[in-house]
Amino acid sequence: MHKNFKNIDHVTFGRGCFHQLAQTLLPIRHLNKKYCVFIIDAYFKNHPLAFTPQAEDAVFYIDVNTHEPTTQQVDELRDTLLNQKGLPSGVIGIGGGSIMDIAKAVSLMLTNPGSAVAYQGLNLIKNPGVYHLGVPTISGTGAEVSMTAVLTGPEKKLGLKCDWTVFNQVLLDPELIATVPKDWWFYTGMDTYIHCIESRFGQKNNAFSLAYGDQALSLCRAVYLGPQSGQNAENDDRLMVASLMGGLSLTYSEVGVCHALSYGLSKIKGTRHCIANCIIFQHLEDYYPLGVSEFKSMCKHHNIELPQHLSASWTETDISQMAEVSYQLPFMWEHALGENYRTLAGLEHIKSLFRRL
């Protein structure tokens, strides 16, 4: 069985297209209780966006620096909305991957009873969500195009994954990523780079995922290593396309060792996804020799100093817990290592990988 994947319904790409937001929402504003929910990265509280919500809208500025999106956070947002205003016309996420995931998850949880915890997994959602629109302001995670809203719950870090998770609309405006601080510009862009490397050097590729992944890699190379590398308008354009294409490359492929470990690190230590990937990837030369070598050149080129010797302060319990989370992601390990993955990456081996950090 080949996957039948759901596309984003509508995509607008272009410098300044964020100004089309109000107009883009017009056709859905009559739906349900006739108000929109804006879920916005708290950064924009002090850096106002060129957009004015309508009087009836609900606006939440969310600080995503302290922790990754949680099931509890999504449940609470949903309860607040339904209790105070009823079912909205649409949910609009403006921010990075965490905000994209919260917006996607809230859209789904507005129409599915109970806690998001019950829906962590594939196709567990029963009802379509409300209309949801994503506006990425940091590029790299691919959350704007994926069918997953990754949430950390009491037991698992695992996505709400189904066709209805996919955005109805995205506005891809490269002008919005111009002000991303350099370190996050690097970590987040490297999420695309790393998942394209993991996608390429694994078992599940086909021509579709290779074509998308290779083009995303080529764009990352231009942005982070090319003669005009760095944060500039042309590279902001490229990085935004790389993020989209990197996400699409995963449609018929899978992430690998780095992401499997990264989920463990984030779940137990709360480390945010993109920097967790970078912290881990630097130590995976034996799995991805070319990718790690190029990644290190990129770090050097942009004077990025990644945290080292983290595991020195971790307890055995920490490491066991991280390894347990990581071990529970067999599709990533199988893609990376083949059918024999349980022999090649048992719990003890996974612990040894965490001790590298």
Q: Closer to its own copies at the Cβ: 166 or 357? A: 166
b/e map 242-265, b = 16+ CB within 10 Å: bbbbbbbbbbbbbbbbbbbbbbbb
DSSP string, 220-235: HHHHHTSTT-SSSHHH
- 235, 222 Cβ separation under 8 angstroms: yes
Q: According to CB under 8 A, which one of 6, 126, 182, 301 is a site residue for its own copies?
A: 6
Residue 356 in the binding site for its own copies (CB under 8 A): no
Tokens of 168: 């109805």
- 86, 41 Cβ separation under 8 angstroms: no
Q: According to CB under 8 A, which one of 100, 245, 299, 306 is a site residue for its own copies?
A: 245
Q: Closer to its own copies at the Cβ: 24 or 89? A: 24
- 125, 117 Cβ separation under 8 angstroms: no
Q: Closer to its own copies at the Cβ: 204 or 296? A: 204
Closest approach, Cβ 113 to its own copies, in A, equals 24
Closest approach, Cβ 238 to its own copies, in A, equals 5
Site string for its own copies, 141-170 (x = CB under 8 A): ----------------------x-----x-
As beta bridge partners, residue 94 has 40, 135
* Window 180-199: residues binding its own copies (CB under 8 A): none
Q: Which residues, 6 or more positions from 329, have their beta carbon under 8 angstroms from its beta carbon?
A: 259, 260, 263
- For residue 273, give the amino acid letter: H
Half-sphere exposure of 46 (CA within 13 A, CB side): 4
Please report which helix (H) or strand (E) contains residue 356, including its range. none
- Using CB under 8 A as the binding criterion, the count of chain residues that bind its own copies stands at 40
3-state secondary structure 101-137: HHHHHHHHHCCCCCCHHHHCEECCCCCCCCEEEEEEC
Residue 51 in the binding site for its own copies (CB under 8 A): no
Q: Closer to its own copies at the Cβ: 244 or 265? A: 244
Q: Closer to its own copies at the Cβ: 218 or 311? A: 218
Residue 269 in the binding site for its own copies (CB under 8 A): no
* Window 214-233: residues binding its own copies (CB under 8 A): 214-215, 218-219
Residue 14 in the binding site for its own copies (CB under 8 A): yes
Closest approach, Cβ 208 to its own copies, in A, equals 4
Question: DSSP character for 139?
Answer: -
Residue 4 in the binding site for its own copies (CB under 8 A): yes
Q: Which stretch binds its own copies (CB under 8 A): 107-115, 131-139, 237-245, 268-276?
A: 237-245
Q: Which stretch binds its own copies (CB under 8 A): 5-13, 37-45, 60-68, 333-341?
A: 5-13
DSSP string, 63-84: --SSS--BHHHHHHHHHHHHHH
Closest approach, Cβ 283 to its own copies, in A, equals 31
Residue 178 in the binding site for its own copies (CB under 8 A): no
Residues 204 and 191: their CA atoms lie apart, in Å, by 19
Closest approach, Cβ 16 to its own copies, in A, equals 7
Residues 309 and 355: their CA atoms lie apart, in Å, by 9
Contacting positions for its own copies (CB under 8 A): 1-17, 20, 24, 163, 169, 172, 174, 206-208, 211-212, 214-215, 218-219, 234, 237-238, 240-242, 245, 252
